[in-house]
Amino acid sequence: MCARQKTVLIGVTGCIAAYKSCEIVRAFQKRGVRAKVVMTEHATEFVGPTTFRALTREPVAVGLFDEPGSPIHHISLAQEADLMLIAPCTANVIAKLAQGICDDLLTTTALATKAPLVIAPAMNVNMYEHAATQRNMQILRERGCHFIEPDEGFLACGDTGKGRLADIGEIVDACLEILEVEQDMAGLNVLVTAGPTQEPIDTVRCITNHSSGKMGYAIAEAAAARGAQVHLISGPVSIPEPQGVQVHRVTTAQQMLEASQELVDGCDIVVCTAAVCDFRPAAPASRKLKKGDGTSELEHIELVQNPDILATLASCEGRRAIVGFAAETDDVVEYAKGKLASKRADLIVANDVSEGKVFGSERNEVWLVTAEGEEHVPEMDKVHLADVVLDKTLSLYDLKMA
């Protein structure tokens, strides 16, 4: 299994570029890195803490005494970080750090942490080029601080020159290189199915389910972040495509099966998260069916069973790890055990979907069921859960390949 998930503490200072910190948070999450945020009070004039709480699902730190559960908040934050990134960082905060001045939570935490400190400055070109700023940056470099140089271009103040916050991808890549996030799936080909299928009744109606596709998309993106080549076969969803992933759009179960069969031969790992409709209308109408009084054409729709995609892929020739998902409303683990055997899968990820749980949400609680037993995974956001599932999958893949 790979190392524990890394945590980046993102410091946000009072700069117009503070809104870009939201993009930085999401970029880290998509790469499988936990992001927490600490802000200066001036930063909250540009972006509110609520925005970062919604993005990270973590408390957002602003004041030295705003966390009643941690009497020494800056120490707990400092110890939690594997890396601290201040982006954007103003000339004022750079000056404070250079002189060891810590008069707020952000600067106090930066002085207390032993984690690598990365600074991405953003300011007016004249402020950036000023001798005092350049000297302060040099002092921090000599202490081991990493700087991500700002870009040149049109600045918010109307001037043109160096001082614009560096590209988001450049910032995140630099931090990941320092963190040495493990590319433990490099060289592997991964196939993921996600979302619902839609089985047409007529030209305007269909049979479907409540799957949002979020879990499958999170797994696909996490696998790509860990170095894998990923094909994502997606039913109809309304979420953005994951980065670094080849997406194949389908609608029906039959289309999903055919797309999966075309790709499975070259895959090392198959993860079937899709909520495939069990049945479909035998003869979809080519027009809109009517619902007349007592003569409704919709009263009796003949259904036929859809193909079992998980079982079909598990029976294909070749050695690969096969992962399925089981959405149950009762006896969750027992049904998952039965599915593990009947589908010939290596791992079943079982979740309780009773009372409207899971579908469409950002979080999930699951049980990882294998031939050796089951392991409970407490509720967490799906971005982090994706790595938990991949960790378990990799361990099973290594056993099969040994």
The CA distance from 255 to 97, in Å, is 58
Asked if the peptide bond before residue 88 counts as cis, ω within 30 degrees of 0, the response is yes
Strand partners, 327: 351
Q: Residue 200 in contact with residue 365, Cβ under 8 Å?
A: no
Alpha helices in 131-244 (DSSP H): 131-142, 168-179, 214-225
CA atoms of 251 and 386, how far apart (whole Å): 24
* 177 class by beta-carbon count within 10 Å (0-12 exposed, 13-18 middle, 19+ buried): exposed
- For residue 65, give every residue at least 6 positions away whose Cβ sits within 8 Å of its Cβ, in sequence order, or none: 73
- Answer whether 30's CB lies under 8 Å from 224's CB: no
The CA distance from 178 to 118, in Å, is: 9
Q: Give the Cβ contact number of residue 180 at 10 Å.
A: 10
Among residues 237, 160, 166, the alpha carbon closest in space to that of 195 is found at 237
Q: Which amino acid is at 391?
A: D
- Please give the Cα distance from 30 to 218 (Å, whole number): 8
Per-residue DSSP letters for 233-244? EE-S--SPPPTT
Residue 316 a catalytic site member: no
Element (H, E) at 377: strand 373-381
Dihedral, 92, 97, 103, 109 alpha carbons, nearest 10: 130
Residue tagged active-site, from 157, 272, 277, 316: 157
By DSSP bridging, strand 34-39 and strand 7-12 are parallel
- Which residues have a catalytic role annotated? 157
